[in-house]
Amino acid sequence: MDLGQMRGFLETARERSFTKAAEKLFLTQPAVSLQVKALEEELGERLFERRGKQILLTDAGRLLFGRVEEILGMVDQVRQDLSALGELKIGQLRVGTSDTNCAYVLPPVVKAFREAYPGVEIRLTDRPSSQVVRMVLEGSVDFGLATLPVSETRVETEALFFRDDVLIYHPEHLLGKKRQVRLLDLAGFPMLMLGQNSTSRMLLDRMFVEAGVVPEIAMELGSIEVIKRFVEIGLGIAMVPEVAVQEEVAGKRLVARSVDGLPARQVGLVRRIGGHLSQASAVFLTFLREHLARHFAVPA
């Protein structure tokens, strides 16, 4: 059975006339008759019987009528859904990224996107960069935003913006007396760090090794928010993204200082090689790039 035959049968059954069905379908009467005949031959059943000038459904025709109505209704719904999907009236967007990006980079982008496309469901999954890469490979997210570089060879990356990290400490800390701060100056002070499974921690460990510094790690914590709270009460110092401490610095609860020789981090898009970006993903990334261009340093 093809869709044309089913539509010819359905309209003939509804109109009880080959001629009226043909007019409704913008076909000739013989064309509709041939569609119905082909359907009868394929099914091995008569679908209509004539009683004088009337065309009535047989038992097989009545059974088929209900099924064809359901099938063509689903086909029409699929077409409507696909049209709505292309226009972003419906759909789903799944993004994996770190808590820093979730909390401090993405909120205005998500807000603008949702206002423009309220029918698209947005799902953000907050994980360390290494886990974000794994989610991209598994297909549980459409794309990821992760700290670069990424060692996994089965994904492709694109640098989106640079993120400056700063040293934070309590306003009464001894480091406040220094005019400049180097990695060497941090030796001997208790440090609060993210866990070793985070890309940011691995990059920071590498910087300490290259500088010949053995940091005094007082605590390993699971989030930037927890680290900030503990630094506020004087339990140590920490290196965190500058974007994450603007409120605390403005309120004079923390001091943020740049550290000489500490390079900016790159944050980028992570996709499976050869993977397809949905329409929702492509539009969201356009919103994101526009936001980054206004508020962050982006690659030339």
- Render pLDDT for 178-233 as a digit per residue (tens, 0 to 9): 999 999 999 999 999 998 888 888 889 999 999 999 999 999 998 899 999 999 99
Name the packing angle between helices 129-138 and 199-211 (round to 10°).
140
Please give the biggest Cα pair distance in the chain.
106
Buried b (16+ CB within 10 A) or exposed e, 165-193: bbbbbbeebebeeeeebebebbeebebbb
Residue 171 and residue 252 in one domain: yes
* DSSP track, 32-84: HHHHHHHHHHHHTS--EEEETTEEEE-HHHHHHHHHHHHHHHHHHHHHHHHHH
Q: Which of 16-25, 63-72, 80-89, 196-205 has the lowest mean pLDDT?
A: 80-89
Domain final residue, candidates 86, 101, 135: 86
* Reported confidence tier of residue 83, pLDDT bands at 50, 70, 90: low
pLDDT at 89: 80
Residue 1 has pLDDT above 80, yes or no: no
Residue 219 and residue 135 in one domain: no
Q: What is the distance between the alpha carbons of residues 98 and 273, in angstroms, rounded to a whole number? A: 21
* Reported confidence tier of residue 239, pLDDT bands at 50, 70, 90: very high
Q: Output the domain CATH number for residue 114.
A: 3.40.190.10
Look at residue 66 and tell me if it is in a domain: yes
Q: Which of 87-96, 139-148, 237-246, 247-256 has the lowest mean pLDDT?
A: 87-96
Residue 80 has pLDDT above 70, yes or no: no
69 CB-near residues (< 8 Å, 6+ apart): 10
Q: Please give the tally of structural domains in the chain.
A: 3
* Reported confidence tier of residue 81, pLDDT bands at 50, 70, 90: low
pLDDT at 53: 75
Look at residue 152 and tell me if it is in a domain: no
Task: Please provide the average confidence, as pLDDT, over all residues in the chain.
Answer: 91
In which element (H, E) is residue 42 found?
A: helix 29-43
Counted residue by residue, the chain has a size of 300
Q: Return the residue matching tokens 């989610």.
A: 135
Q: What is the distance between the alpha carbons of residues 122 and 41, in angstroms, rounded to a whole number? A: 49
In degrees, rounded to 5, the angle at the alpha carbon of residue 270 between the alpha carbons of residues 264 and 276 is: 150
Residue 81 and residue 104 in one domain: no
Amino acid at 172: E
Structural domain for 9, as ranges:
3-86
Look at residue 116 and tell me if it is in a domain: yes
Which of these, 237, 245, 199, lies nearest to 218 by C-alpha position?
Answer: 237
Q: Report the pLDDT averaged over residues 15-38.
A: 90
**Structure tokens that stand for 34 in this block:** 């041939």
Residue 157 has pLDDT above 70, yes or no: yes
Burial class (CB in 10 A: 0-12, 13-18, 19+), 3: exposed
Q: Output the domain CATH number for residue 38.
A: 1.10.10.10
Amino acid at 230: F
Q: Return the residue matching tokens 């180097």.
A: 182
Q: List strands edge to edge, sheet with 255-257.
A: 238-241, 165-169, 255-257
* Reported confidence tier of residue 242, pLDDT bands at 50, 70, 90: very high
Please count the other Cβ atoms lying within 10 Å of the Cβ belonging to residue 247: 11
Residue 256 and residue 171 in one domain: yes
pLDDT at 95: 96
Name the packing angle between helices 3-15 and 59-86 (round to 10°).
120
Please count the other Cβ atoms lying within 10 Å of the Cβ belonging to residue 76: 10
Residue 76 has pLDDT above 90, yes or no: no
pLDDT at 84: 63
pLDDT at 285: 95
Global pTM reads 0.69
Look at residue 103 and tell me if it is in a domain: yes
Amino acid at 107: P
Q: What is the distance between the alpha carbons of residues 148 and 183, in angstroms, rounded to a whole number? A: 21
Q: Report the pLDDT averaged over residues 136-153.
A: 92
